[in-house]
């Protein structure tokens, strides 16, 4: 499958490669790895036993000295404390701007490793090697990196593009069912906001078609994000549509201290709930929410909004980095495949959530 070429500011270009088995053939990237004296692979304790040694060996064979860092899995590792720990390791390894960081893992690893690469010595090159469906279709692409604070998700971060994104759909076979389902939430999101044909392909799937065509679906999602990012790298306009379901999703994650819902599950609930509300207000075509509910059920994703205390919701919600003054832009649907951006104040937003 042809690589997706991303072309951004100042003639900055990189390629997203989506190909079954590509992690068995990293020698094709020898010219890339050969440019660096050292590489630090950052991964987590779930991924390390499956892929770390094999990836490390292949990069070493390109003549690059490799160091390995293994972090605890889970959202709580995406913190300033963990970033500081990684900086100390970088210092011990005598990392320079001529070296490389490799993010091998899911969204937490990619966000954290990318953030550390973007800030240590004011910027070290990094490569994304996503190993979850969610990371492959979304978080590894587009250059958003960051960490969480106790007060909210992704409150500290930067826009920092990778040198390459290497996606092997074969690794999805090792994912637990729940992790696969949460990745499908982001795939469904792309269909909702941008590609009706993709949505319909998922909606009418009879079981095996999606998994058999997973590489093609991942490729399409990456291509959509590439198109959106090229037009609006820093989320000044169009890129905001990628936040569909995320305003509520981030509230749910934080409200339950990242214990009850995974990111994809929280986004799934957010997409359905916000569409029910926007249908009632006449913004969204009738029947859209039911379609989203059906597709979420088919993918074993939740859609029911739990009871939330308004005071706690407001405390979380009003720290959202997407606020501009007293306004926030909420992503709604006109219909499947077409998103609309609606600016609203805090009171209007609360009406959509509670």
Q: Residues 6 or more apart from 89 whose CB is under 8 A from it? A: 40, 67, 69
For residue 109, say whether it is annotated as part of any ligand binding site: yes
For residue 230, say whether it is annotated as part of any ligand binding site: no
For residue 329, say whether it is annotated as part of any ligand binding site: no
Q: Residue 315: helix, strand or coil by DSSP?
A: helix
Catalytic entry in 46, 179, 243, 299: 243
Catalytic entry in 38, 226, 240, 246: 246
For residue 144, say whether it is annotated as part of any ligand binding site: yes
Catalytic entry in 235, 253, 265, 279: 235
Catalytic entry in 225, 226, 277, 293: 225
For residue 284, say whether it is annotated as part of any ligand binding site: no
- Burial of 72 from C-beta contacts in 10 A (0-12 / 13-18 / 19+): exposed
**Is the CB of residue 100 less than 8 Å from the CB of residue 75?**
no
Query: Is 243 among the catalytic positions?
Result: yes
Query: Is 225 among the catalytic positions?
Result: yes
**100 alpha carbon, distance to own chain's centre:** 21
Catalytic entry in 144, 189, 219, 298: 144
**Is the CB of residue 186 less than 8 Å from the CB of residue 198?**
no
Q: What end-to-end distance do the CA atoms of the chain give, in Å?
A: 44
Query: Is 89 among the catalytic positions?
Result: no
For residue 327, say whether it is annotated as part of any ligand binding site: no
Catalytic entry in 82, 201, 239, 293: 239
For residue 111, say whether it is annotated as part of any ligand binding site: yes
Query: Is 144 among the catalytic positions?
Result: yes
For residue 340, say whether it is annotated as part of any ligand binding site: no
For residue 153, say whether it is annotated as part of any ligand binding site: yes
Q: Residues 6 or more apart from 271 whose CB is under 8 A from it? A: 185, 188, 189, 192, 244, 245, 292, 296
Catalytic entry in 75, 182, 186, 279: 186
For residue 275, say whether it is annotated as part of any ligand binding site: no
Query: Is 246 among the catalytic positions?
Result: yes
CA 270 – CA 112 distance, rounded (Å): 24
Catalytic entry in 38, 189, 263, 277: 263
For residue 9, say whether it is annotated as part of any ligand binding site: no
Catalytic entry in 10, 122, 173, 206: 122
Binding residues for NAD(+), by number, are 107-111, 131-132, 144, 153
Residue numbers annotated as active site: 122, 144, 186, 225, 235, 239, 243, 246, 250, 263
Residues of the binding site for Zn(2+): 186, 246, 263
């Amino acid at each position: 499958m042809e690589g997706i070429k991303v072309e951004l500011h100042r003639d900055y270009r990189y390629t997203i490669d989506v190909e079954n088995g590509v992690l068995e053939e990293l020698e094709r990237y020898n010219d890339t790895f050969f440019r660096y004296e050292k590489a630090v692979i950052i991964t987590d304790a779930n991924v390390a036993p499956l892929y770390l040694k094999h990836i490390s060996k292949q990069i070493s064979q390109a003549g690059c000295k490799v160091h390995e860092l293994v972090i605890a899995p889970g959202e709580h590792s995406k913190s300033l404390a963990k970033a500081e720990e990684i900086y100390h390791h970088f210092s011990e390894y005598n990392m320079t701007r001529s070296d490389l960081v490799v993010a091998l893992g899911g969204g937490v690893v990619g966000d954290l490793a990318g953030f550390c690469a973007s800030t240590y010595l004011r910027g070290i090159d990094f490569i994304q090697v996503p190993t979850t469906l969610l990371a492959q279709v979304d978080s590894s692409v587009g250059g958003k990196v960051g960490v969480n604070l106790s007060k909210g998700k992704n409150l500290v971060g930067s826009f920092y593009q990778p040198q390459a994104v290497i996606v092997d759909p074969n690794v999805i076979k090792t994912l637990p069912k729940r992790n696969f389902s949460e990745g499908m939430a982001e795939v469904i999101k792309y269909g909702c906001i941008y590609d009706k044909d993709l949505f319909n392909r998922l909606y009418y799937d009879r079981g095996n078609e999606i998994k058999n065509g997973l590489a093609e679906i991942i490729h399409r999602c990456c291509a959509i994000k590439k198109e959106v990012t090229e037009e609006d790298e820093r989320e000044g306009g169009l890129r905001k549509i990628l936040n569909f379901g995320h305003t509520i999703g981030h509230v749910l994650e934080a409200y339950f201290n990242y214990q009850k819902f995974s990111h994809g599950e929280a986004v799934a609930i957010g997409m359905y709930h916000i569409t029910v509300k926007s249908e009632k207000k006449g913004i969204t075509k009738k029947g859209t929410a039911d379609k989203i509910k059906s597709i979420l059920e088919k993918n074993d994703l939740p859609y029911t909004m739990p009871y939330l205390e308004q005071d706690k919701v407001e405390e979380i919600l009003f720290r959202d980095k997407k606020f501009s003054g007293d306004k926030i832009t909420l992503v709604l649907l006109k219909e499947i495949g077409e998103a609309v951006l609606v600016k609203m104040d805090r009171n209007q937003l609360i009406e959509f959530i509670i």
